[in-house]
Amino acid sequence: MPTTLIEPFRIKSVEPIRMTTRAEREALLEKARLNPFLLRADDVLLDFLTDSGTGAMSAKQWAAIMEGDESYAGARSFFRLEAVIKNLTGYEHLIPTHQGRAAERILFAVATHPGDLVPNNTHFDTTRANLEVDGVEAVDLVIPEGLDPKNLHPFKGNIDLEKVAELLEREGHRIPFGMMTVTNNSGGGQPVSMANLRAYAQLLKRHGKPLVLDVCRFAENAMFVKLREPGFADRSIESIVQEMFSLADGCTMSAKKDGLVNIGGFIALKDDRWVEAARNLLILTEGFPTYGGLAGRDLEALAVGLEEVLHEDYLRYRLRTAEYMGEKLKAGGVQIVEPTGGHAVYLDAKAFLPHLGPEDYPAWSLANALYLEGGLRGVEIGSVMFGKRLEDGTETYHAMELVRLAFPRRVYTQSHFDYAAEVICELKAKAGEVRGVRIRKQSRFLRHFTAEFGWA
């Protein structure tokens, strides 16, 4: 039997991508001040900057777009999406938003108070920022294995239950709810087991605290559960997803990930708590409750996306993509974060560029080199993103120097990935030539988006 895992779709509409010469890329990167965020997407061959909102919609989704009901109030498209989400989550209330962070902003505004504390396996950066802006402390409690790039634990997104129990004892009065991010994006797209989620939910319940899930990649997580967790091999993805939601009281979602759409998000809540206040804020900042931050056609595309993302052949192919890239890179002597997660591969830049010191920003330098070598765009997750320049001019550096290559859904074919792996492995062979960079200009917050660099 053939073992090659094929893309479980054929292509009906294509978008050309443009090959550039190395000389052109050198000029383009100089013009972008050595910051890949400042490149024009047309000048990138394979864009692995993010898996968020970059996926391809299916023919069924495009057809559903024509069915969009753009009525201001009570649109048919809302009820269609509501039915799909009710079936998946079992939750009564749907609050659509324009993307994930808007869902966070609204829920946190109504469900937290200044001085509160929210535990999570790892807060995604917008989740953390939306808590902190309300004066809430965001506490990351992922298991220690989740912080070790070489540990092969099957569920490195799990939360440390002992630490949670201890925190509930000590700071329980400050905790309005617990959160869990599935999969754990900031921890490398690593999955959470059903057993861990159940134990966490029970622990919270014993202290009278609800559980809110950040479910951006709920389907990828369910597939990992099916493949890795004892007792789930014969279960349908839909039933695994339903069981996961049944353990919690609500969720926030960026539909730009496992919603298989280019824009969208929502809050879904099991009971009435928070609903009225959240809807009032929704009207103020997003839109009327039956469309929130979206057009009717967006709601339709999302309703279809949430059904398509459960298909097992799709999920098998999806998880296999990252695994396949990981295998190719390891065979070429490239160190990555293991095991590969659901949506991305992370290159260890310190191991790739041992001749560079922290002041050379190795992960940033590697991201630049990948562009120069083969037109690839990844994102630095290292000292430019997490370090900072202090008042006295000294720099702080991050412990890990990673380049994340995140994979858009249903966009690139196996030969695109073969090409990307080849580029990376060829670069590895001449890694000594890669030059470090220095920051020439930076902003105070989120500096990686706009910073300007020069060669070291």
Ligand X SMILES: *Cc1c(COP(=O)(O)O)cnc(C)c1O
Question: What is the closest distance, in whole angstroms, from the C-beta atom of residue 107 to ligand X in the complex?
Answer: 12
**Site map 51..90 versus ligand X, x via CB under 6 A:** -x--------------------------------------
Tell me the closest approach of the beta carbon of residue 101 to ligand X, in angstroms: 3
Quick check: 130 binds ligand X (CB under 6 A)? no
Interface stretch with ligand X, choices 62-70, 119-127, 311-319, 380-388 (CB under 6 A)? 119-127
**Residue 437 CB neighbours (<10 A):** 23
Asked whether 94 and 277 are in contact (CB, 8 A), the reply is: no
The DSSP output letter for 190 is B
- Binding positions for ligand X, 181-240, rule CB under 6 A: 181, 185, 214, 216
Please select the residue that binds ligand X; options are 99, 221, 290, 383, rule is CB under 6 A.
99
Q: Which is nearer to ligand X, 293 or 326 (CB)?
A: 293
Residue 254, interface with ligand X (CB under 6 A)? yes
* In the complex, least distance from residue 294 CB atom to ligand X, rounded to whole angstroms: 12
* Element of type H or E holding 404: strand 402-406
Stretch that binds ligand X, among 106-114, 249-257, 292-300, 423-431 (CB under 6 A): 249-257
What distances in angstroms separate CA 421 from CA 91, 382, 409, 431, one per listed residue?
42, 21, 18, 15
Q: Report in angstroms how near the CB of residue 265 gets to ligand X at its nearest.
A: 5
Tokens of 301: 């595309």
Residue 127 binds to ligand X (criterion: CB under 6 A)? yes
Q: Which stretch binds ligand X (CB under 6 A): 19-27, 57-65, 250-258, 439-447?
A: 250-258
The dihedral formed by the CA atoms of 314, 243, 252 and 9, expressed in degrees to the nearest 10: 10
138 binds ligand X (CB under 6 A): no
Region from 70-78, 96-104, 268-276, 428-436 binding ligand X, contact rule CB under 6 A: 96-104
Note whether 256 binds ligand X by CB under 6 A: yes
Other CB atoms within 10 Å distance of the CB of residue 449: 12
Phi, psi values for residue 381, rounded to 5°: -125, 85
With contacts defined by CB under 6 A, how many residues of the chain interact with ligand X? Answer: 15
* Beta bridge partner(s), residue 142: 159
Candidates 27-35, 65-73, 93-101, 324-332: pick the segment binding ligand X (CB under 6 A).
93-101
**At a CB cut-off of 8 Å and minimum separation 6, what does 181 contact?**
120, 121, 122, 123, 124, 127, 157, 192, 213, 214, 216
Residue nearest to ligand X according to CB distances in the complex: 100
Structure token pair of residue 423 = 């580029």
Is the distance from CB of 419 to CB of 46 less than 8 angstroms?
yes
How far apart, in whole angstroms, are the C-alpha atoms of residue 367 and residue 300?
A: 37
Residue 265 binding ligand X, by CB under 6 A: yes
- Of 216 and 363, nearer to ligand X (C-beta) is 216
Cβ(92)–Cβ(248) below 8 Å: no
Bond into 20 cis (ω within 30): no
The CB-of-123 to ligand X minimum distance in angstroms stands at: 8
Task: Between 209 and 256, name the residue whose CB sits nearer to ligand X.
Answer: 256
Exposed/middle/buried for residue 358 (C-beta within 10 Å: 0-12, 13-18, 19+): middle
Hey, what are 47's tokens?
């864009």
Contact, 36 vs 451, CB < 8 A? no
- Note the residues at the interface with ligand X (CB under 6 A): 52, 99-101, 124, 126-127, 181, 185, 214, 216, 254, 256-257, 265
